[in-house]
Structure 1
Amino acid sequence: MRRPAWAGRNFTLLTAAAMVAGLGSSGSLIATAFAVLGAGGSATDVGLVATARTVPLVVFLLIGGAVADRLPRHRVMVAANALNCLSQGLFALLVLAGEPRLWQMALLAALGGTGQAFFSPASEGMVLSSVSGEHSGRAFAFFRMSMNGANIGGAALGGAMVATIGPGWVLAVDSAAFAVAGALRAFLDVRHIPRRTPTGGVFHDLREGWHEVVSRPWLWAVIVQFSLVNAVVAAAEAVYGPLVAEESLGGPRPWGLALAAFGLGTVGGALLMIRCKPRRLLLAGTLCVFPLALPSAALAVPVPAAVLIAVMFGTGVAVEVFGVTWMVALHQEVPEEKFSRVSAYDWFGSVAIVPLATALAGPVQDLIGRRTALWGCSALVVVLTAGVLCVGDVRRLTRRTDPVPRPGPESGSGPVPEADEAPGRVPVPTPASASEPPSPSPPLSEPASPSPPSA
């Protein structure tokens, strides 16, 4: 079967690697929790190990973005995959050997978070530079559909494997998946990429990236929007959703089905965006953020399980429309050699407040009540999204029919020059995991940021 013209060699390798890593990482999230519990840990211990992964992710994200714009991105990605392969492999050995200690599991989780902090900005920059402007929307939609499908399948397969062969072997499979993904990325063709000589230090590069963000009102407005939207959606999903399901919906099964429906909705949204090319990119995308208010409102009522599942599916479709339009806007507007730094600021905004929001969700519920807190989450999403629509650049940013040619973009099977070494051009959600990320998107299955790929 012949590859489509827009699916060049690099794009095909990147998509295949993201699918392999997504299958492994989605299952490992379940395996990690059960490994902690199997070692005698409590729910608090599970949270501590998860936090141990999140903290280095937040701390090193901006540095990871600067590094990915100084070095060849594919090398940064392979090195990050190697670190994740090592950390997950050691984690698997500890669990299979019996009696892993909490500090050991937390340390290995922190290594995984560090790997993702360097991987995510490099990955997004490489994906954005692997397609031409004319086909970017279709390519990004296909990439995200493949990644989301792998995450859904990986979670289902991982849960079954944890039940049958135990969490240690699932972690070993994830380690092998990172090895395969890294090997695929090592074959990216960057022979025609000119060597980029850094003109200053890492902090100089970070200042340049910051200037790229603040000089574009549409860019910083959406990042600010999703820093808060992701936080409240994460609180609703991680804390309030399971409690409502337990008390009013019949337990964890309907809540799990609702989360699965969201994931299926993202696949449906990607399929839609393979065909649709909205002219006003961010206007169409931002309008599709309003449905993110619906799940919290549905939980506040609460609606029957069947209605909640339908709401989550529709929200997934809408979120994916935003995610694709966001990637197209970045590809069209951000200089290629600064992709990774902009992506790092995008990612940082998307995840930085999430741990605080989930930690405060319980005290807020005790103070004002769960129903009021959930209605507040919905209201905040609506107000923030309406505020972004007041930014003129968001309403006016238009898809270019004659995109500015980029040095070395891949078309067909030819090599693609990597963004970090090519002269250049001008997000969201879903919580981030140990898998391949995409940038600002909501946490109903990944952190919401405009929409990133993961390690």
Structure 2
Amino acid sequence: MTSAAASPPSSPSSPSSPSSPERPRRRRPAWAGRNYTLLAVASFITTLGAHGALIASTFAVLEAGGDGGDVGLVAAARTLFLVVFLLVGGAVADRFPRHHVMVAANALNFLSQGAFALLVLHGEPRLWQMLALSALGGTGQAFFNPAAEGMLMASVSGEQASRAFALFRMGMSGAAVGGAALGGAMVAAIGPGWVLAFDAAAFAVAGGLRMFLDVGHIAPRVPGSGLLADMRDGWKEFTGRPWLWTIVAQFSVVVAVVGAAESVFGPLVARDELGGAGPWGIALGAFGVGTVLGGLLMMRWKPRRLLFAATLSVFSLALPSAALAIPVPLGVLIAVMFVSGVTIEIFGVSWITALHQEIPEDKLSRVSAYDWFGSVAMVPLATALAGPAESAFGRTPSLWGCAALVVLATSAVLFVPDVRNLRRRVTTDVVASGVSGDDAVKESDLTPR
């Protein structure tokens, strides 16, 4: 969909010419259609709030008298319920209109975060209450994530889809960095309760925006044989594509060990070798800046062999663990984290483009649910085992082990022929909304939804 505004007429008192040529109409990029724009704005708002809320919930637990173990329990409750309900959420999102599922999930997150904020602001929250509310938040995300990813992929088509995905991810990366910085400052200035309230309000605003999504272009859902049958159908779609399940299996390992290295070992190395939390925060910030610049790169670069380029970029994720194992000076660590941020966006944009290209629209959310499940299922286990691994083998060998697992899992995926050979399809879609065929081809061959 394009937007154009007629240029105002020339002033009749203009001394230059009785008639001035009409200015060219200003158009939005063709890939920034209505649904895409609504999804991007709503996701930016919730990402901004969520990354501030991560810091706020930690300090809320501590201010209520909890310790590090209690903080871990509250975080684990969210992740556990996210994992448990992801596959159900994917089946539901392909069974019912995705925007309805997204709005309902946002409403649940609004209620859970709002209740959390009220407890912190007006009382002394108990651990079981925070655990229950965190679990509700994870449940909402389990239904939201597959629906949102399916809706995003259904909102664009054509060769410029990867450009749209790159911009979307770049916006989310920027919101994550900004949300963490803003959240930390707000917790220090006004306390964690108000930051949690801001996050609840963000869910309410985003849910309101998503109510205006247009799903008229999506074929009506055909009732299946039941929820379990839909889940089995999604499983067949997932396991029937070797490139799909092997890369998800790869990332179940990669995300787990990278998460353990950065959430457990990283702060310890920073404390003992780099000067404390400040330098570690700078290194994490460099990763965030890298993701933003990686998104900019992927708006222009379109690798022909999507998955081959994506998989090669994953090798760099072994570098942070290796850098912490040595350990390298802070300047080198910052450079390593920056490079890792850039390359994870190469993978992310190429991956979602491959899913968009290869998976039928009516199965997008179920496949996305298996993808999410594989990515997060092993994170709690890896994080829990990091401490025992350090005790048993030492910190440095454990970090080298994390780096080795990333390299081994990524190398194994390259033996899959489809990973090496799957190519980006070239299409010639024409934008239809009020743009002539010639102009549409020159501007973009992405059909927005």
| TM-score when normalising by structure 1 | 0.88
Residues in 2 aligned to 1:118 and 1:153: alpha-carbon distance in whole angstroms: 25
CA distance 1:92–1:166, shift in 2 (3 Å)? same
**Counterpart mapping for 1:281-320 below 5 A:** 281-320=306-345
* Alignment partner, residue 152 of structure 1: 177
Deviates more, 1:388-397 or 1:199-208: 199-208
Structure 1 residue 194: deviation in Å? Answer: 3.5
Deviations 1:365-416 (A, max 9, x none): 11111100100110111111111111110000000012799xx9xx999983
Mapped to 1, the partners of 2:331 and 2:217 lie a distance apart of 53
Partner SS, residue 133 of structure 1: coil
Residues 37-436 of structure 1 aligned to structure 2 (within 5 Å): 37-402=62-427, 416=449
SS of equivalent to 2:214: coil
| Alignment: residue pair count | 412
Superposition RMSD in Å: 1.6
Q: Which residue of 2 aligns with 1:428?
A: none
Quote the offset at 1:203 in angstroms: 1.0
Correspondence for 1:421: none
User: Which is greater in Rg?
Assistant: 2
Give 1:148 deviation, angstroms.
0.8
Question: 8 Å contact 2:31–2:448 — kept in the other structure?
Answer: no
Give percent identity, aligned residues only: 68
Change (3 A) 1:414 1:366: closer
Distance in 2, Cα, partners of 1:286 & 1:107: 38
Whole-angstrom distance in 2 between the partners of 1:106 and 1:40: 14
Structure 2 portions without partners, runs of 5+ = 1-25, 434-443
Q: CA deviation at 1:281?
A: 0.3
Tell me the CA shift for residue 200 of structure 1: 1.1
- Rounded to whole Å, the distance in 2 between the matches of 1:320 and 1:390 is 23
Q: Give the ranges of 4+ consecutive aligned residues of structure 1 lying more than 4 Å apart after TM superposition.
A: 411-415
Gaps of 5+ in 1: 417-455
Following TM superposition, by how much is the alpha carbon of 1:191 offset from its aligned partner in structure 2, in angstroms? 3.0
- Aligned equivalents of 1:413, 1:334: Cα separation in 2: 18
1:11 partnered with 2:28: no
- Give distance in 1, aligned partners of 2:349 and 2:448: 24
Corresponding residue of 1:451: none
Q: Report SS of the residue matched to 2:160.
A: helix
- TM-superposed CA distance for 1:198, in Å, is 1.8
**Superimposed CA distance per residue, residues 18-40 of structure 1 (whole angstroms, 9 cap, x where no aligned partner):** 00111111100000000000111
**Separation of aligned partners in 2, 1:194 and 1:357:** 41
TM-fit CA distance, 1:282? 0.5
Once residues 23 and 145 of structure 1 are traced to their aligned partners in structure 2, the CA distance between those partners, rounded to angstroms, is 13
Equivalent position SS for 2:31: coil
- 1:229-281: CA deviations, max 9, x gaps? 11111110111000000000100111111111111101010000000010000
Contact 2:162 2:353 in 1 (8 A): yes
Letter in 1 for 2:71: V
- Contact 1:7–1:412 (CA under 8 A) maintained in structure 2: no
In 1, the alpha carbon distance for the partners of 2:123 and 2:282 equals 33
What one-letter code is carried by the residue in structure 2 that aligns with 1:75?
A: H
Aligned to 1:22: 47
Report the TM-score when normalising by structure 2: 0.90
Q: Paired residue for 1:33, among 58, 61, 73? A: 58
Taking the aligned partners of 2:69 and 2:404, their CA distance within structure 1 comes to 30
**Does the 8 A contact of 1:240 with 1:370 survive in 2?**
yes
Secondary structure at 1:339 match in 2: helix
